[in-house]
Structure 1
Amino acid sequence: MKHSIVIVDDHILIAKAIGSILANFKQFEVLYECENGKELQEKCNHKNNVPHIVLLDISMPIMDGFETAKWLKENHPDVIVMALSMQDDEQSLIKMVKCGAKGYLLKNVHPVELENSLNSLIKMGFYYPDWAANKVFSSISNGNTESDEKIHFTEREKDFLRYTVTEMSYKEIADQMFCSHRTVEAYRDSLFEKLGLKSRVGLAVYAIRNGFDS
């Protein structure tokens, strides 16, 4: 059985190009294409139009990728969302993960990696390239709860974890926590060591997956 994919991208030529590439993948087939999230909503009103995977652009008119991913998470939680964007900044990645995306690729991705990423989505439930903290998602998705229970966080570290999922800079977080920028960096470095992480993306993912974003 082939896994159905919907492409949501307001750039028609890009959507068609992606569709042509996907046509060469034996395990996948394109169900249809949409120009924005609103169009996808309307299509998904019919059961037969609900796909296994949605390849989702972020910057779109009417209903962007963030809103669309959040809607899918709330209304069709079994649909796997893969962001496919030109935006490679941490803020976009963190926000998409918070909205429910299970993968994140840039549009200049090689077709081989695209196919590998789709296979990973089906088998593992997620896919993130190295720059997007792939190892972090892998360890969190495997759910090492026993070791997590042994980790002790101070209340200030918990507060800092909650702020990592926002779009605030470290300086802005320091202002919100009424402390210096160096103190915030100390919280960050302490959490890096305790969790074995190396980036803010990793901290944000951990926070989201463990309920520190609520």
Structure 2
Amino acid sequence: MIKHTIVIVDDHILIAKALRGIIANFEDFEVLYECENGKDLQKQITSKKVVPNIVLLDISMPVMDGFETASWLKKNHPKTLVMALSMQDDDQSVIKMIKNGSKGYLLKNTHPADLEIALKTMVENGCYYPEWAASKVFASLGIESKKLLEEISITDREKEFLKYSATEMSYKEIAENMICSPRTVESYRDNLFEKLELKTRVGLAVYAIKNGYDGI
């Protein structure tokens, strides 16, 4: 059986080694090597001339963090699936990783069995996000997503807010850029939640990115 190859990028050696040991028990996956940061990954890929199918990527790392690394992989090795594995669960981190090309996002307290499911799902479907990170959005997005957006009655101002939702701006900063009150911004958000059947800002951001509404 041909296994899907994985590289672990994490500056905490014990965590990287522990992950390797866990994945060694997964039937469909194998770890090629571990890297301490994005720069190390670049060197390893160049020297070994082997590009992994999957990169398990920490976010907070010295020298070259997860955001930069995901962006580099997206540009240079777009077929490699990036799974963010972090302790950070804030909207800004999730949104930024999605924009930089991450196809999955898990927290480090994830159970090993759930990690295996996440990896299998990402390989089969092209992405994996747990419920809190808007998996419902990914599951519902497809070729017809642009048509769906056109069929839904969304105002120009709501579309403008949709673009800002895919940035790292706070709602207060979005309000300042849209020259309106924070209350009005919240109204745009709530209207889009209802129209698009979403529950989180991450969901809005993913929808915006998938539909090309992230040009700000």
TM-score over 0.5 (shorter chain):
yes
Structure 1's 141 and 33: CA in aligned 2 closer, same or farther, altered over 3 A?
farther
* CA shift for structure 1 position 149: 2.8
**Residue 66 of structure 2 is aligned to residue 75 of structure 1:** no
**Residue 70 of structure 2 is aligned to residue 58 of structure 1:** no
* CA shift for structure 1 position 143: 4.5
TM (norm. structure 2) is: 0.95
The alignment yields a C-alpha RMSD, in angstroms, of 1.3
TM (norm. structure 1) is: 0.96
Structure 1's 167 and 124: CA in aligned 2 closer, same or farther, altered over 3 A?
same
**Residue 160 of structure 2 is aligned to residue 129 of structure 1:** no
Which secondary structure state, in structure 2, belongs to the residue aligned with residue 32 of structure 1?
Answer: strand
CA–CA distance in 1 between the matches of 2:179 and 2:145? Answer: 33
CA–CA distance in 2 between the matches of 1:89 and 1:15? Answer: 23
* CA shift for structure 1 position 145: 4.2
CA–CA distance in 2 between the matches of 1:82 and 1:143? Answer: 25
* CA shift for structure 1 position 15: 0.1
Partner of 1:12: 13
CA–CA distance in 2 between the matches of 1:172 and 1:144? Answer: 28
Give the count of matched residue pairs: 214
Say which is worse superposed, 133-142 or 180-189, in terms of deviation.
133-142
Contact 2:7 2:52 (C-alpha < 8 Å) held by counterparts: yes
CA–CA distance in 2 between the matches of 1:140 and 1:67? Answer: 26
* CA shift for structure 1 position 167: 1.6
Structure 1 runs (4+) deviating above 3 angstroms are 141-146
Partner of 1:183: 184
Contact 1:31 1:49 (C-alpha < 8 Å) held by counterparts: no
Structure 1's 62 and 202: CA in aligned 2 closer, same or farther, altered over 3 A?
same
CA–CA distance in 2 between the matches of 1:144 and 1:21? Answer: 37
CA–CA distance in 2 between the matches of 1:48 and 1:67? Answer: 21
